[in-house]
């Protein structure tokens, strides 16, 4: 067996420093598909909902890469014969879709989001058919859509026929729609009209759209239009069960480069009793290693030992590492889990040279602290107001009564700051009660049966709130 230091170094090398792709094509070795996600990637799943960090942008980038699409085709066969176009995403591509500033300008010119989205579809369809359409700017393309309904319909029919002759299907993917506007009402209309366009595409048998939405976006009134039920029937959710997260971890570890991957494959063979399967230069886990809690627990025990302390009273690392990274809805994102594991390996290497396992239990706790810090930074990118409303709660012990939270907020009249950057809280007009509701929707707060407000460790630690017996809050600096 390899020594503990080598395993720690291999862990650090195998887990990427940042798990967010930011629109870049993912590493094939990290391509891991939970069963719930396979459903979401099918072409007839038009609406895919998920919270921050669960894979919306990851799958958008993976679908955009031909080599990865072929790999995904082993699980979702139709993807092997699908042409993909990105219709909106984190990564700007002004030739393929307007950015926030262009969207705003088009709306000022009295174009509807419905017309703008059909212009996005048209630019791709014109490439398929060879049609000549105005593309000097998005105003010209959108004006053409408005003025030429019959030529547009003929172009769509022609594209559908060409795809049929080639034995192909077409898919247009939309992600990161919060980047299309900083105003909730405008964003609602943008999303609603996009879903209407998605419904329009159902008229063409081989042209599909897939819309990735955040849960807070989906919870609004974006589906209040005729026949929306036809889209709601296709809805899928991106969720991660504990066995999915541990499966992803070992997928990454076994596919690490060079000697690092060999180290983990040896641990895998010793624990599972067989080698992972090598297929097209990727090591794949057995179904047993992906689904069996017993096998996964044994694998993680080989890295972290049996207990979160000196005995069983402190909990089991396999369970503890995920449960303390869950949000208020009980969901743990792969981004948080992997960040915690990498930090735990770094901390163990630095502080616990004589410990018999690669991951010291105190280092796993510090990994939770780091994951909390990262998660808060990510959430603040989407919701800048979060730090403003939670900073006054520093030092508060949870669970607590709402009155205690409201008292802190009343001492810091910072509501006016919430309108400065990005989308404000959806229910800001209802004051503290409305903001609490928004924080619950985001999984940052959770309401207990007795009415008190709690905050899961994933956020509590980073925002420096206390809880008896919990992971210690982050220290300033």
Q: Tens of pLDDT along 59-73?
A: 999 999 998 998 898
pLDDT band at 477 (very low <50, low <70, confident <90, very high): low
Q: Where are the beta strands (DSSP E) in 366-466?
A: 446-447, 453-454
Token pair, residue 158, equals 């022609």
Q: What is the mean pLDDT of residues 136-148?
A: 98
d(CA 48, CA 141): 28
Q: If 0-12 CB within 10 Å is exposed, 13-18 middle and 19+ buried, where does residue 330 land?
A: exposed
Interstrand relation of 453-454 and 446-447 (parallel, antiparallel or unpaired):
antiparallel
- Order of strands, sheet of 47-50, starting from the edge strand that comes earlier in the sequence: 82-88, 169-174, 207-214, 47-50, 236-237
Q: What is the mean pLDDT of residues 142-158?
A: 98
pLDDT of the residue at 418: 59
pLDDT band at 412 (very low <50, low <70, confident <90, very high): confident
* Most confident option among 5-19, 37-51, 372-386: 37-51
* Averaged pLDDT of the chain: 91
Q: Lowest-confidence range among 78-82, 90-94, 152-156, 420-424?
A: 420-424
Q: What is the mean pLDDT of residues 69-91?
A: 92
pLDDT of the residue at 1: 45
pLDDT band at 19 (very low <50, low <70, confident <90, very high): low
Give CA torsion, residues 415, 420, 425, 427, to 10 deg. Answer: 60
d(CA 447, CA 222): 26
pLDDT of the residue at 122: 98
pLDDT of the residue at 21: 52
pLDDT of the residue at 18: 65
pLDDT of the residue at 403: 95
d(CA 258, CA 319): 30
The helix-helix angle for 149-166 and 113-129 (nearest 10°) equals 50
pLDDT > 60? residue 414: no
What own/partner pairs with CB < 8 Å and gap ≥ 24 does 362-365 have?
364/304, 364/308, 364/317, 364/320, 364/321, 364/340, 365/308, 365/471, 365/472
pLDDT > 80? residue 278: yes
Token pair, residue 384, equals 């800048």
pLDDT of the residue at 377: 87
Domains of the chain, CATH where assigned: 35-237 (3.40.50), 241-379 (no CATH), 384-460 (no CATH)
Token pair, residue 228, equals 């929306």
């Amino acid at each position: 067996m390899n020594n503990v230091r080598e395993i720690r170094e291999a862990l650090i090398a195998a887990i990427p420093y940042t798990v967010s792709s930011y629109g870049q094509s993912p590493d094939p070795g990290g391509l891991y598909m939970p069963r719930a996600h396979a459903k979401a990637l099918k072409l007839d799943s038009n609406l895919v909902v998920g919270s921050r960090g669960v894979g919306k942008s990851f799958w958008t980038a993976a679908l955009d890469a031909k080599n990865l699409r072929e790999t995904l085709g082993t699980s979702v066969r139709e993807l092997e014969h699908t042409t993909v176009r990105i219709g909106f995403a984190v990564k700007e591509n002004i030739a393929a879709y307007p950015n926030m500033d262009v969207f705003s300008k088009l709306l000022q010119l009295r174009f509807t989001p419905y017309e703008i989205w059909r212009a996005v579809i048209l630019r791709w369809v014109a490439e398929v058919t060879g049609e000549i359409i105005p593309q000097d700017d998005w105003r010209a393309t959108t004006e053409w859509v408005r003025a030429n309904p019959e030529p547009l319909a003929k172009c769509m029919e022609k594209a559908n026929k060409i795809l049929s002759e080639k034995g192909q299907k077409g898919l247009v993917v939309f992600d990161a729609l919060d980047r299309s506007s900083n105003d909730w009402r405008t964003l609602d209309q943008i999303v609603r009209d996009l879903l209407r366009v998605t419904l329009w595409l159902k008229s063409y048998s081989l042209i599909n759209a897939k819309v990735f939405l955040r849960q807070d976006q989906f919870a609004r009134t974006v589906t209040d239009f005729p026949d929306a039920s036809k889209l709601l029937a296709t809805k899928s959710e991106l969720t991660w069960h504990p066995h999915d997260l541990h499966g992803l971890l070992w997928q990454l570890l076994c596919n690490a480069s060079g000697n690092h991957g060999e180290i983990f494959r040896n641990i895998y063979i010793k624990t599972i009793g067989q080698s992972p399967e090598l297929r097209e230069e990727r090591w794949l886990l057995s179904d047993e290693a992906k689904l069996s809690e017993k096998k996964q627990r044994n694998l993680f025990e080989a890295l972290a030992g049996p207990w979160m302390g000196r005995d069983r009273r402190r909990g089991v690392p396999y369970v503890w590492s995920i449960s303390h990274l869950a949000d208020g809805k009980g969901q743990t994102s792969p981004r948080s889990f992997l960040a915690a594991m990498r930090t735990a390996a770094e901390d163990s290497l630095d502080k616990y040279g004589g410990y018999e396992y690669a991951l010291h239990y105190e280092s796993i706790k510090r990994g939770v602290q780091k994951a909390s810090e990262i998660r808060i930074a990510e959430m603040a990118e989407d919701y800048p107001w979060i730090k403003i409303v939670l900073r006054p709660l520093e030092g508060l012990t949870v669970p607590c009564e709402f009155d205690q939270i409201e008292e802190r907020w009343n001492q810091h009249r910072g509501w006016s700051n919430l309108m400065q950057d990005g989308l404000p809280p959806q229910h800001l007009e209802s004051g503290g009660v409305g903001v609490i509701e928004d924080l619950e929707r985001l999984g940052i707060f959770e309401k207990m049966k007795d009415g008190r407000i709690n905050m899961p460790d994933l956020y509590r630690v980073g925002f420096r709130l206390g809880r008896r017996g919990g992971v210690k809050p982050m220290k300033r600096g």
